[in-house]
Chain A
């Protein structure tokens, strides 16, 4: 039986909860990308791309499908080598050093089915050589706040889509990295759960600010969660337009996304997206 996806209100209003010492007050890291280029052999995926993100800012990347958004995230993370240009993350320039600054949350939750929800969340701590009991204690301290209390020992297959996504996000957050790279984190969820999860992520990021690069094909999601959104063109990807979000991570999502300024900005972004897709 899958668990109910409904979240109690105190979890949605995440920001009100007291910050735990496990995740609060991380040093911020800025991202700076200059004339970045990348190609798979002959296929040029990214061309002359510039991008700046200040510490603790949330940048939303939107673009047509297959435009190289995921490749861009992997480049920032240091999982791939750029063909041209420079990427600097919190002062780290080489891919290996950037890997130390970034935590990457892939499109699918990729929870390991042989571990419980808690052991999945504690993965980064275990990899760092922290003992099982201590790693579980540190990750477990956040379960209540993430609306996952009581599901510590549950195997991932028995969790709902929204809960799995929260465990995956918790796993990313617990890594303690200053930069979070989120690749379409809610793409696999139904519309209602996705809305709830966006509101929840907004609260989580306000309580525990990090520098975030959020890739999504959903302009509304990007505009609601980010401080700034960057519209990318189709392959080879370059920046078409950058837009400031009117009310980043407002506590009440439904009101925020229907406000006239939000709607105007969303229409501008969609227009830019259409232009870039040509």
Chain B
């Protein structure tokens, strides 16, 4: 409880300042804008409530893209990490490329991916999955590589097969690393999904924000942003919770 209090107080304070600054028109005046372009927190909350079914519909679309894309990346990333770990030559060939590929701004590939994969959920899944794949693979592989070589020797003299050593020593050692990768991935997954929706305006919160920009629906834009952050924080929290339940020895 004590731990939560300071950030909550800061948040309440900032919201209060924003409320006063926006409702008195101070921000709008300073920026030389029409007041309706600078919604106050209470107006955003009102918009959130009034547009709840529209927002929920689009949030569901985005959430689906995030979860499916992340799920694909999780399975593929873990499998690829294990593959590279088992085959030293493959690891040497691929690992530098996997690390280097993290510098590619996958998000800006979205327009090309739309051309390749057409409209619909396809290109969004690809963007999200590509974004998630690398942190998961790199972290899981680092985890597998961090196994104490003496522990492997110990397992060999205790008659362990390759699979038993993997299951009882290597996989548990790598688990916290894989969770770190997954937590990084889920945070970027939401950003990736929204960006992909901006490029292919059909549905989803990214699309809604894009659309509302033309309609000057500033309050609803902020409501969408609010839902996106709640989504990202919740998904991150769920992963952290799963980690606490599974990694009991730390």
CB distance from A157 to the nearest CB of B (A): 7
Contact of A127 with B249 in the complex, beta carbons under 8 Å: no
Evaluate contact between B159 and A127: CB separation under 8 angstroms.
Answer: yes
Q: Mark A110-143, 1 if CB is under 8 A from B, else 0.
A: 1011110000000110111000000000000000
Q: Is A103 an interface residue (CB 8 A)?
A: yes
Q: A124, B249: Cβ atoms under 8 Å?
A: no
A171 to B160, CA, bound (A): 13
Contact among B160, B172, B248, B250 for A127, CB-based, below 8 A: B160
With A74-B153, A112-B168, A112-B172: A124-B158 Cβ-Cβ less than 8 Å: yes
Q: Total A-B residue pairs with C-beta atoms closer than 8 Å? A: 59
* Min CB gap B46→A, angstroms: 50
**Min distance, Cβ A239 to any Cβ of chain B, angstroms:** 24
Chain A contacts for B82, CB-based, 8 A: none
Within the assembled complex, what's the spacing in Å between the Cα atoms of A175 and B158? 6
A79 within 8 A of B: yes
Cβ contact within 8 Å between B150 and A77: no
Q: Does B103 contact A (CB under 8 A)?
A: no
A99 sits at the interface (CB 8 A): yes
Which B residues, 215 to 250, have Cβ-Cβ distances below 8 Å to chain A? 248-250
Q: Tell me, rounded to whole Å, the shortest Cβ–Cβ distance linking A182 to chain B.
A: 12
With A79-B153, A127-B164 in contact, do A114 and B249 touch (Cβ < 8 Å)?
A: yes
With contact pairs A112-B172, A114-B248 given, residues A102 and B157 touching in the complex (Cβ less than 8 Å): yes
> Which residues in B have their C-beta under 8 angstroms from that of A74?
153
B92 in contact (CB, < 8 A): no
Q: List CB contacts (< 8 Å) of A38-85 with chain B.
A: 74, 77, 79
CA distance A155 to B172 in the complex (A): 15
Interface string of A95-116 (1 = CB under 8 A from B): 0000110111111101011110
Binary per-residue interface labels of chain B (145-164) against chain A in the complex, 1 for a CB within 8 Å, 0 otherwise: 00010110111111111001
**Distance, CA A115 to CA B158, complexed state (A):** 16
Q: Which residue of B lies closest to A119 (CB)?
A: B168
Contacts of A124 in B (CB 8 A): 158-159
Contact of B150 among A103, A108, A175 (CB under 8 A): A108
Interface centre among A79, A99, A110, A114 (most CB of B within 10 A): A114
Indicate the size class of the contact surface on chain B: 10 to 19
Q: Are A127 and B158 in contact (CB under 8 A)?
A: yes
State in angstroms the CA–CA spacing of A222 and B157 once bound together: 23
CA distance A177 to B156 in the complex (A): 13
Q: Which residue of A lies closest to B172 (CB)?
A: A114
Contacts of A99 in B (CB 8 A): 156-157
Q: Report how far A102 CA is from B156 CA in the complex, Å.
A: 10
Q: Verify A171–B158 contact, CB threshold 8 A.
A: yes
* Inter-chain contact B159/A128, CB cutoff 8 Å: yes
How long is the Cα–Cα vector from A115 to B151 in the complex, in angstroms?
14
Asked whether A104 lies within 8 Å of B249 as measured between CB atoms, the reply is no
A117 → chain B closest CB, angstroms: 13
* A123 interface neighbour in B153, B168, B249, Cβ under 8 Å: B168
Q: Chain B: residues with CB nearer than 8 A to chain A? A: 148, 150-151, 153-161, 164, 168-169, 172, 248-250
Given A112-B168, A126-B164, list of 9 further CB < 8 A pairs? A77-B153, A79-B156, A102-B157, A104-B154, A106-B153, A124-B159, A127-B160, A127-B161, A175-B159
In the assembled complex, 24 residue pairs joining A and B whose CB atoms fall closer than 8 Å, in A order, are: A74-B153, A77-B153, A77-B157, A79-B157, A100-B159, A102-B157, A103-B157, A103-B158, A106-B153, A106-B154, A107-B150, A110-B150, A110-B151, A110-B154, A112-B151, A114-B172, A114-B248, A114-B249, A115-B168, A123-B168, A124-B159, A127-B160, A128-B159, A157-B249
